[in-house]
A and B are shown apart, each in its own frame.
Chain A
Amino acid sequence: MTKELEHKFISEFQENQNIIHKVCRIYTNNQEAHNDLFQEITIQLWKAYPKFRGESKLSTWMYRIGLNTAITLYRKSKRSIKTQDFDSVLHRIKSTDYDDTEEEQLKLMYKAIHQLSDIDKALIFLYLEDKNYKEISATIGISEVNARVKMNRIKTRLRTILNP
């Protein structure tokens, strides 16, 4: 692979890296695991990059590979030692609209999401990213109707986790 391609990839990836951070955010709950998954997704993106022709948006392409890696390809490496769980929203404490109960609610929400199955996490992720059901169904590979049904089940499940 040529140097130019490598340079192009790194620049584009650097600009859009938040997408992958967000995928890692849903699928992992500590910094070490986050970094590990991030790395595997980056490698997979780079391996697939020469075939990326720009038919779809770069972000859509990244969503797919990111989720596929998290759900299917990724194997936890031996390196990931259990570290302290993320204190999910603590790093935004400075924000102006800081609200104690909101923060507590968000923390519980992330905790609940981490209890979902890998597939459910993907649906929640796409939902949070404002994807419509057509896109969700195409990314996961299920029918639109089933995507809706599944999403409703996930919401119910989250509700049960949050209010047992």
Chain B
Amino acid sequence: MEQVPLSHILILSSTLFFLGVYGFFSRRNLITMLMSVELILNSVNINFIAFNKFLYPHQLEGVFFTMFIITVAAAEVSISIAIIINLYRRFKTIDIEDTTTMKF
């Protein structure tokens, strides 16, 4: 089977990563910022799987790291959704420009 060059996979994942970074810094809405974080975590997963598959196929380390990242992402999303709902209940908005009570 002909193989895709590893650098193309890395370009794919870094483009996805910086799309996520752009969304995280430019958005004003907490839920869309959360979605950008998901994109970032997924780009890292692609990297781990690609390195495991194409450079070190005699190990399963990338698979384990991907599984742990997916689990941490699930925990992170559940906590942040709880925070967002609590914030919405208190301020009636989740726009980060309007919720400045604790802003330094």
Bound pair (A, B): no
